[in-house]
Chain A
Amino acid sequence: MDQTLSERASTVTLRVNGTDRSLTLDHRTTLLDALRDHLDLTGTKKGCDHGQCGACTVLLDGRRVNGCLLFAVACAGRSVTTVEGLTDGEVLHPVQEAFVARDALQCGYCTPGQICSAVALLDEAARGEPSHVTPPERLPGGPVPLTPDEIRERMSGNICRCGAYPNIVAAIEEAAR
């Protein structure tokens, strides 16, 4: 990233699904639009485009974020994982397998965001990070058990207009085992 004050556009390098990608982007380009419109990674979906639905969820340096609320230029030099980057060759990620096994989708539009969010959720709980429903008396240290209530709370940033929530919770419970 050029450290001088650039007027309207900048050339940035993003590490996307393990590969460095260099792009010259208008500063107004969000990470979501950079992925979809400039890198043809259309797995990540645009839902509300205002950070309210979670369809654009991707992993930025391993942490889940809303791609629609980040300017791509501000992600320069960082590592992005999209739903396309979760597979190991032709082998699906365990969370993807669980979504298929539990029929955790209907129309599928929110699913890439749900899956990226769930992948991060498993890491967060394994690291012992609390949620709003984690009992406050539970002291720091050790993984947080993923009860259905914990999964529902931790997935609250991903809206499913079809209402596939029961099977999404079941899929994440299965992936957590």
Chain B
Amino acid sequence: MKPFAYVRPERTEEAVAHLAAHPGARFLAGGTNLVDLMKLGVTGPPLLVDLGALPLDGVAETPDGGLLVGATARNSDVAAHPVVRTRYPVLSQALLAGASPQLRNAATTGGNLLQRTRCPYFQDTSTPCNKRVPGSGCPAREGVHRDLAVLGHSAHCVATHPSDMAVALAALDAEVRLRGADGERTVPVTAFHRLPGDRPDLDTVVAPGELITGVALPAPPPGALSAYRKARDRASYAFALASVALVLTVEDGRVGHAALAFGGLAHKPWRARAAEEVLRGAPATAETFRRAADAELAAAEPLRDNGFKVPLARNLAVGLLGDLASRATAAAA
């Protein structure tokens, strides 16, 4: 590992100023991904600006009925938060489906959004990778890609984003709050991560030196149910082969609000807008749910060894839609 300088500021503006003054410097939060990438030689920042002393670890209800989750709030604390569990169960469930208790105790909200792909070629510095070394090539396309993308990939990169939390946030219409040297801005979670295109080295729209200060959740739609479902190679402590997050209302047997997002399928959490078009206003039946999932997954372009993800994602979506619709109908009866 390369040597690095270290500083732990107590004010947010100081942290931002350190990054502006030191090109190549990185923020350090829980470190569960960054420390590993430094050990692997994937990255070697000359300065780490530790966010551990900043006042950004709170979870607070907002006047508009929403919730503001601080950037350095721990994944375990957010998952166990009573308001998250009762009003945003999809978020609590997604967090608890990811990583291990030890990792969730260290990992933060902002760090979770910024974690890098676990594509084996990205993590192995002895191989080419367009994400790690732009222009070096993508061995995954013809190599080991069973766990990689089926939607939205490019000739340059077939990596998936590994987060479960971000998939729930996409379905919740959450917004990421960013602070840079020039001020603050807000980006919808669905526009926060990029598709790879010809710049797979850029995972997100975060500008150099910008700091995530928090994630804002809007008030959930009245009467909405939400849940997260994940398929993986072992029962716990594994990344998603495919996952689905859903926020749903059903009124008089018809779908009202429907926000559906897939994980494990693409370079970003995949908000299923085509499926939502089919769902909205349609009868809440298995036939509708199948048509909706198929409408979204028609765009899939599986690689040689990951075609199984398409029916897997379809079955997860159809199953979760059916389960939440049944619960909504039972609750209304």
B103 CB contact (under 8 Å) in A6, A51, A136, A141: A51
- B135 close to A (CB within 8 Å): no
B interface residues, how many (CB within 8 angstroms): 42
Mark interface residues in A101-134 (1 if CB within 8 Å of B CB, else 0). 0000000000000000100110010011111101
User: Does more than half of chain B's interface fall in helix, strand or loop, or is it mixed?
Assistant: mixed
* Pairwise interchain contact A132-B102, C-beta atoms closer than 8 A: no
* Pairwise interchain contact B86-A140, C-beta atoms closer than 8 A: yes
* Pairwise interchain contact A74-B97, C-beta atoms closer than 8 A: no
- B205 close to A (CB within 8 Å): no
Residues of A within 8 A of B103 (CB): 51, 66, 69, 157
* Pairwise interchain contact B3-A54, C-beta atoms closer than 8 A: no
B5 CB contact (under 8 Å) in A5, A50, A127, A128: A5
Q: Give the complex CA separation of A132 and B18 in angstroms.
A: 38
Closest to B38 in A: A28
Do A131 and B96 form a contact, CB below 8 Å, given A64-B101, A157-B103?
yes
* Pairwise interchain contact A54-B4, C-beta atoms closer than 8 A: no
* Pairwise interchain contact B31-A70, C-beta atoms closer than 8 A: yes
Which positions 4-52 of chain A face chain B at CB distance < 8 Å? 4-8, 10, 26-28, 30, 49-51
Mark interface residues in B280-321 (1 if CB within 8 Å of A CB, else 0). 000000000000000000000000000000000000000000
Residues of A within 8 A of B28 (CB): 71, 74
Residues of A within 8 A of B99 (CB): 157
Residues of B within 8 A of A152 (CB): 235-236
* Pairwise interchain contact B236-A70, C-beta atoms closer than 8 A: no
- A91 close to B (CB within 8 Å): no
Closest to A73 in B: B6
Q: Give the complex CA separation of A128 and B82 in angstroms.
A: 10
- B7 close to A (CB within 8 Å): yes
- A153 close to B (CB within 8 Å): yes
Mark interface residues in A136-168 (1 if CB within 8 Å of B CB, else 0). 100111000000000011101110000000000
Supply 14 further A-B pairs (C-beta < 8 A) apart from A5-B18, A63-B105. Answer: A4-B7, A5-B5, A5-B6, A6-B6, A8-B3, A28-B1, A51-B103, A57-B102, A60-B105, A128-B80, A139-B85, A139-B86, A153-B236, A157-B102
The list of the 10 closest CB pairs from A to B, nearest first, reads A157-B100, A156-B236, A140-B82, A156-B237, A129-B80, A132-B96, A5-B7, A63-B105, A157-B102, A27-B6
Spell out B's residues near A (CB within 8 Å).
Answer: 1, 3-10, 18, 28, 31-32, 35-36, 39, 47-48, 50, 52, 76, 79-80, 82, 85-86, 89, 92-93, 96-97, 99-103, 105-106, 227, 235-237
